[in-house]
Amino acid sequence: MADWSILPPEIGHEIANHNVDDLATLRSMCRVSKAMRRVSIEPLFSVVRFACVEDLSLWVEILQRTPTLNMSVRRVKFSGSRDNLLGRGSVKKLTPLHKAPAIPHIPAFPLAHAVEWSSFDDENLAFIPVYMVLFPNVRELQLSYLMELEGDGGLSRILASCPPLTRLVLTCVSTYSPEPESELESDEEDTEYIEAHWEGTVD
């Protein structure tokens, strides 16, 4: 059996980085030895995902045990879709992400350079700019499956809450106009969808 404790650190880092998208392998590496745990922790927590309020609370508990993990995070993904909670027990017992405290109770992510927001409707968009304060150095913003009431300014507030960006990706971001029911023929005719990939600087 290999003695991972004598493996040169640079080799360990190469192995961990090669498996950055394989969470099962990284978790296994953390259990092999203290040496492998040290090199696996950073890629294991380079991307974190939040899909409910309970995820935020769990992250606080994790940081209480290992405060330095916050410095490993490079990308954070938020999802308002209940589909992402399937397979996690009773979905009804989990609190939707947009019902999180109005003032974020999790520490900032000082080294995170990318943030993704997915599946929030017009009633919940206000949640996003409030939590963008956690990302002082974000450079990439991805918005997908968001819906905004025309003239509400929700998307503008989201962009205004960000520092200068170098990459902005919009996928299925929609706006709609409130119309009397008698004038509505179909949802598709009254909803405008935006799908764009843009790279540059947003001041």
User: Token pair of 184, please?
Assistant: 């509505």
For the chain, what is the mean pLDDT?
78
| Distance, CA of 174 to CA of 74 (rounded, Å) | 28
Question: Residue holding tokens 């927001």?
Answer: 117
Task: Return d(Cα 50, Cα 48) in angstroms, integer.
Answer: 7
pTM of the model as a whole: 0.74
Distance between CA atoms of 155 and 142, rounded to whole angstroms?
12
Instruction: Tell me the pLDDT tens digit for each residue of 81-131.
Output: 877 665 565 656 788 898 998 889 999 999 999 999 999 988 889 999 999
Amino acid sitting at position 142: Q
Q: Kindly report the CA angle at 45 between 43 and 50, in degrees rounded to 5?
A: 145
Q: What is the pLDDT of residue 68?
A: 86
User: CB of 82 within 8 A of CB of 96?
Assistant: yes
Share of the chain above pLDDT 90, in %: 37
**For the ranges 83-92, 161-170, 194-203, the one whose mean pLDDT is highest:** 161-170
Q: Assign 146 to helix, strand or coil.
A: strand
